[in-house]
Amino acid sequence: MGNLKYFLGLEIARSSTGIFLSQRHYTLTLLEDTGFLASKQATVPMKPRVRLTNNGDLLQDMTQYRQLIGRLLYLTISRPDIIFVVHKLSQYVSRPRTFHLTAVHHLLKYLKSSLGQDVFFPTNSSCRLRAFSDADWAACIDTRKSVTGFYILLGML
């Protein structure tokens, strides 16, 4: 069958220096389907001072928001830079507000500006795993539930 090149939306490129994982085509398809291929670009995945809450007007059609979040969750396989934002936005899939959809649109603009980001696994390095975690007690504005986060590094450290 040969070398693996494309599998379930993942583009795999192999070279003598390592393996690249990319979802560039998947991202372009997502941007085209949502109409953000010709939009302006954003430099960050989410504006720094944005606080997501359950306040505001409910979306009339929640299906669009839910589908976008599902597609963005799949995109986090090769895009660790958007994991935090996508998971924050996924907390509101049961009752999304217009403000949440605006945040998703901002994330799509960021994806347009950062299409060339790939995950690279070098062949000539000692691979190490390092993990960090943190908890913010009662940080959720709406439910007062705790929010736990983690960060995992795989590679040279």
First to last CA, the chain: 35
Question: Which residue(s) pair with 18 in the sheet?
Answer: 122
pLDDT at position 102, please? 92
State the average pLDDT over residues 120-143. 76
Report residue 28 CA to chain centroid gap.
Answer: 14
In Å, the largest CA–CA distance within the chain is: 53
Residues 76 and 19: beta-carbon distance below 8 Å: no
146 within 8 A of 139, measured Cβ to Cβ: yes
Q: What is the pTM of this model?
A: 0.78
Each residue of 76-102: pLDDT tens digit? 888 888 988 999 899 899 999 999 999
pLDDT value for 156: 58
